[in-house]
A and B are shown apart, each in its own frame.
Chain A
Amino acid sequence: MNSRERVLCTLNHKEPDRIPLDLGSGHCCKFTKYFYVKLLDYFGIKEDNLEICSLPYQVVYASDKVLDLLKGDVRNPRLKPIRPPNPYSKKWEDEESYYARNEWGTLYRMPKQHALYFDLYDTVLKNSESLEEDQKFVWPVPEKFDRNDRKEMEDYRNAGFATMITEVFGNGFLQTGPLVWGFENWLAMLAAEPERCIPFMEKLLEKKIEYYDNIFAVYGGLIDTTAEPDDFGTQRGTFVSPKLIREMMLPLHKKLNAHIKSKQAIKTMLHTCGSVYAILPDIIEAGYDILNPVQIAAANMEPERLKKEFGKDIVFWGGGINTQATLPNGTPQQVRDETKRLIDAFAPGGGFVFSTVHNVQDDVPIENFMAMWETFQDNCKY
């Protein structure tokens, strides 16, 4: 069984030869820059010019050499979009910080000292109080791709890897508004002025469809999975009410999934952090095949419960180790015990791709990461 066959097998809820592994490639299964440097040191590899694949999170495209050493089954091709002109995009720095304004007008800032991420700092419609003012926003144009750029993806297919597209247009339907109005304003608008949110989210759907069509026009037939983010969960429940998610966001996700699947044989992933137990049936109903990152330490997200109630209907891609406690702060033995326990819970019957719960951060000791990896290798055979 090659990597792609292994992944597709588990995505179809059957047991492959071993559990597929995604470390360093899939959506929120990646490595932050400084952890990646630790990993390179550990393997004795020298790599210059690390490629950042997400500015806010400072995660990198891991090299094939590292992914091969880890025996990863998934590859995340580096799409090379042709960026249309945009009035907002800009990068600069001052004495203390780096700044970057993206095509949504969102300003991110990263202090120069001891900082690990670019954090949201300012938005263009933060003072808008009406639909009329909202309409001043200049929408980004979905990127197109170069037909000559299929080679990397073709090479991965020929080498037998499963591929995932992790670059998305904007963010999710709940989560793009904050890029434009700011988090608090957007949440308050959802509760008090949904008439300002609905047209924005509907337009976002149109643009996302256009974006996927642009991707398929170049990479069609070579993509196994796509990932859409929409963080619905917090540590203790959903950010907004399940009713609001069901009525306002998931119908749009459902239309997007229907469009993607009408064009390509693709399994779609929803990335949502936090406790989403209450809306998992609705996420499945919206057409998602895969859930990531399966935040097992959030409320009601116990692995046994998830597997028993939803294991036949959705694939768990993640959930391999708690990245809020055990992986950064546990002992290697605690990491081994938890990894084994989670494999035992999620693996039976397939429908499981092993990965960490979210990107591996800078503070993770290499001993803990390797303890997890070795435990996986020792326990991954069906």
Chain B
Amino acid sequence: MKKLAFVLWLTIAFSSISFAESVKAYVSNTKIGTEDTLTFTIEGENIDGNLSITSPLNFPGFSIVSGPNRGQSISIVNGSMSKKETISFILAPEKEGKFTIPSLTVKAGDREYKTKPIEVEVVKGSIVPRQRNRGNAYDPFDNFFNDDFFSPPRPRNVRPEDIFIRTEVSKKRAYVGEPILVKFRLFTTVPITQLALQEAPSFQGFLAYDVDTNQRIRFQSTVLAGKRYNTAIIYKKVLYPTKSGELVIRPLSFVLNAQADFFFGKRVIRKSEPIRIKVLPLPEAPKDFSGIVGSFDIQASVDTKTAKVGQSISFKVIVSGKGDLKALDNIIPDTIDGFKIFKSSSPKITSQDPINQSKVWDIVLVPTKEGELTIPPVKLVYFDPVLEKYITKETTPIKIYVKGQVESGGAVNIVTPSQGNEVKVLNKDIAFIKTGKPDTTKYLVESKGVIIVSTVFPILFLVWGFMVRIVDERRKNDVEYRKQKAYSFFKNKLKLAKKYAKKKKTKEYYQTLSKAVISYFSDKFSKPNIELRIDEIETMLKEKGVDEKLIKQLTDFVEYCDFESYTPHSSGIKTELIEEANEIIQKVEKAL
């Protein structure tokens, strides 16, 4: 119940804060050392339009190190949304004493706001890293939760040992210009939902490059001092020291959203520890030192070794290795004896990885004279920090045999030689006449034949159809015709039976056989098919004096077929029955 009351109270309090439209100014610390910096932030919450400062930027006792930096954040907590817009400055104190950051006029949309003046005390030395980050002025909840008044029902707090950040450097001793990889590793025991840098990092005394920025943060599990942590690299940079001496990688502040309780996202700020790096000056440089530090390789290649005068040759120089190749200037000589040089606009750097990359110069060379020409070696002098000395690398000289002339009248013809030149059209003319026999034809459409064919034949077909139909109809009722054709009709029916036998239709097969026999007799005796039964046929055949044996054979056959057709699972299809039927009917035909 108490907890519930607290939640309710919190929700109301929070929403009233988050919906308030306000502009305020605050500093990261009110007491700093002369060696520290101060972040001064103007924050507009839920305002319309953009923040802009209308009064002059003047901070007595401070100099602006960076800023104005703009930032925006939208956060949703317990369903209420708040939008924050900030303008921040990083200020460095000029001397000790008490200073006041004056009131500034800020415009947001149509409204103007005035910030409160802030007093800052500056003491000698550096005190900020030792200070706890607890109690940031702009995090209303930090103070709120620390208040003892609410201690019984408050959610689990995030202790410093729950989340911390460590800085890892690849080396602590380096030469000027030697790459140093800096990783910021997060250790946490609570889930992290959001992660951001509090302010843009500045690495004083270094050139900083991003490393695989698109990579996702992947957590791993480790045990540290008996506690299980999830750990991940959250930020990586490659730094190149620009001056010698002892340089400090300044602490970075990360803003984290820790899921400390079931539904409380808690904002936590963690700073990394500062790292001191001893930067050694380079020993006295040789005359043609290219200015890069690391370990490198240089290669040169051409696309063809034999060429004509005026033909273009693609000459490629690749420098690859570990180090700041961006700092590498042109190493290609301006003139090569016997060649005209056409340099491409700028060398290309492959790969986004700043540690391991290569720089490519693509150059077109055009020989100006015949004979054996040599492309001289390209030299690269760099400092190797491992060997601690200057190293010179050269490409092998390339010999090119130039013979003959490109036929385009001296003009430089940039065509890839392996593909050959395009066929040139000198003149145009009509094609030759067609020979052989003349292909004389008539248009069929114009001939009378087509009209005759396309009128007469359709009529013929239709007339033929009607005729056949009429004749067939007549024949059906023609007794004599039926008598004559009885055997051939019977034959047709046997053919049909054969078809059924092939298709394994047992029932249809036997039905057709018996039907064939009976309809033969119905044709012969001029009786309708349906009325005729096997016993009638028997008596009629007896009257005609047909052999008794034959009649018996016939009746047995028809009865067998009928029986088979009504008992479908019986012994399959006996195709020899067709022959038997044919034999019987042939004998009957003779006897009649």
Is B a genuine binding partner of A?
no
Which B residues fall within an 8 A CB radius of A? none
Which A residues fall within an 8 A CB radius of B? none
